Amino acid sequence: MWFTQPIPEATVALEDATLGALERALVADLDRAQRSIEVAVYDLGRARIGTTLASAARRGVRVRVVTECENRTQARSLLWAELAAAGVEVRDDRSSFAGLGDGCPEEGGEMHHKFIVVDGELVWVGSMNLTSTDLNYNHNHAFRIEDGAVAREFEQEWEDLWAGYFGRAKAPRAPRAFEVGDARFEIGFSPRHAEAGVETSVTRQLVLRSLEAATSSIDLALFALTDAAVGSVLGQRADLVRGVVDATLAAHASSRVPALCSQGAPLFVDNFPGKVHHKLAVIDGAGPSPIVLGGSCNWSAGGFEENDETLLVVRDAALGSLAARHLDELIDHDAHRAAPCCFHAAEAYDVASARCDDRPCVCDNGLDDDFDGSTDEADSGCAAAFSCAP
């Protein structure tokens, strides 16, 4: 299991020359590909990854990519054209919100997967898009799994996408269980249901079942926590819950974070320069049988019932311990030491914010962190430091 190591200075993090350990390992695996590379990714904008895929195609590896239609246009169009010129085959889900996207006329959910299959034997899967932001600026994770049976499971999902079956057009399929070394996996894909007539997706079922099995702790690092069923189960177990949530959606009308806070769960609204883009949980992390949940699937109705997503449930003592330490570092980080349940805008800052020279990084990173159309000092959240209500 790999974690990104975000760099606070966005100008450095987003440079093509910046190369973190996770990206270095991923590129090395792609460079070793001999027969095939199959990619399903919501967003691909990282020049180094594009160059690596193009190089593989030129040396005879069959490289095929499925992506989100809306992310093939505008700023990304040049990279996609370069990939096509190198022989990389590309398809997308043809859809956009309400079918209003330029060149994406169909209405549907997002092709939100983030996985790669190499030579039918190796899988990379997690929460990170193949972008500079997700690799170097946001908090993300990835599993690297060397196992032919697991790879075939991902290839089956990928082949359905390649054939044009996205979102609810995919046939029902129950989650599958695997063993790799000492680790036991369950893998489910959104928005598949286990069988026709089942009311909820396999990914929501996997999350609910895992949460209900907790005996001592539920630690979270989540970009979105808006699903009603998940929020209800967490509320019933609020005494076990703690975590860090991204500021973008924490106070949104659909967020379950305020309700959990009112029930006593210490959830920290992040104050990092980049986003908490994880969809990560560790259950009973201090015990002998920890459970790790990860992948691309946000804990939202869209993530469970509309979008193409992956959710993994992993039972492994060593990996559980590793993920638990990572969550400890995020939850206990000085950046949001002011108080749990301190709701603030994603582009706001306090005295603990990371500094870039003498300025808060979040107000000088060139990114629209809260998706409101305003960036850095133009955003009202950066006008003054925030304070937490008592």
**Residue 310 and residue 202 share a domain:** yes
**Domain with 279 in it:** 175-367
**Residue 97 and residue 204 share a domain:** no
Q: Which of 261, 218, 226 is nearest to 242 (CA)?
A: 218
- Final residue of a structural domain among 165, 194, 226: 165
Helices (DSSP H) in the chain: which residue ranges? 10-13, 21-31, 47-58, 77-85, 132-136, 148-162, 202-212, 228-236, 247-250, 257-262, 301-305, 317-331
**Residue 83 and residue 12 share a domain:** yes
**Residue 111 and residue 65 share a domain:** yes
**How far out from the chain centre does Cα 96 lie?**
19
Buried b / exposed e across 196-228, counting CB within 10 Å, b at 16+? eeeeebbbbbbbbebbeebeebbbbbbbbbbbe
DSSP string, 320-364: HHHHHHHHHHHHT-GGG-S-TT----TT---TTS-EETTEEGGGS
**Residue 82 and residue 184 share a domain:** no
310's tokens: 């992956």
Distance (Å, whole) CA 297 – CA 240: 22
Return the pLDDT at 364.
Answer: 87
222's tokens: 């989540």
Residue 385 falls within a domain, yes or no?
no
Q: Looking at residue 59, which CATH number applies to its domain?
A: 3.30.870.10
Distance (Å, whole) CA 176 – CA 174: 6
Residues 226 and 252 sit within 8 Å (Cβ to Cβ): yes
What percent of the chain has a predicted confidence (pLDDT) above 90?
81
Residue 377 falls within a domain, yes or no?
no
| SS3 call for 73 | coil
**Residue 157 and residue 182 share a domain:** no
Residue 101 DSSP class: B
- pLDDT value at 353 more than 90: no
Give the pLDDT confidence of 172-194 residue by residue, as tens digits: 999 999 999 999 999 999 999 99
Distance (Å, whole) CA 211 – CA 234: 7
Residue 38 falls within a domain, yes or no?
yes
Give the pLDDT confidence of 207-230 residue by residue, as tens digits: 999 999 999 999 999 999 999 999
Number of domains observed in the structure of the chain:
2
Residue 372 falls within a domain, yes or no?
no
**Residue 179 and residue 80 share a domain:** no
Give the position of tokens 């106070």. Answer: 251
Residue 373 falls within a domain, yes or no?
no
Residue 374 falls within a domain, yes or no?
no
Return the pLDDT at 339.
Answer: 83
57's tokens: 């195609």
- pLDDT value at 389 more than 60: no
Residue 204 falls within a domain, yes or no?
yes
Buried b / exposed e across 372-386, counting CB within 10 Å, b at 16+? eeebbeebebbeeeb
Return the pLDDT at 15.
Answer: 94
- Band of pLDDT at residue 388, cut at 50, 70 and 90: confident
Residues 187 and 176 sit within 8 Å (Cβ to Cβ): yes
Residue 125 falls within a domain, yes or no?
yes
Cross-strand bridge partners of residue 90: 65
Catalytically active residues, by annotation? 112, 114, 119
Average pLDDT in the 193-214 region?
A: 94
Give the position of tokens 């190089």. Answer: 55
- Band of pLDDT at residue 370, cut at 50, 70 and 90: confident
Compare 143 and 339 and report the one with higher pLDDT.
143
159's tokens: 């082949």
Give the position of tokens 């989650």. Answer: 175
Is this model's pTM higher than 0.75 or not? yes
H/E stretch holding 40 reads strand 36-41
| SS3 call for 32 | coil
**Residue 61 and residue 197 share a domain:** no
Distance (Å, whole) CA 122 – CA 120: 6
**Residue 185 and residue 277 share a domain:** yes
Phi/psi at 320 (nearest 5 deg)? -60, -40
Distance (Å, whole) CA 127 – CA 23: 13
Distance (Å, whole) CA 240 – CA 218: 6
**Residue 325 and residue 206 share a domain:** yes
178's tokens: 């695997």
Side chain identity, residue 253: A
DSSP string, 262-290: HTT--EEEP--SS-B--EEEEESTTSSS-
**Residue 291 and residue 342 share a domain:** yes
Distance (Å, whole) CA 155 – CA 124: 12
**Residue 324 and residue 219 share a domain:** yes
- Final residue of a structural domain among 130, 145, 165: 165
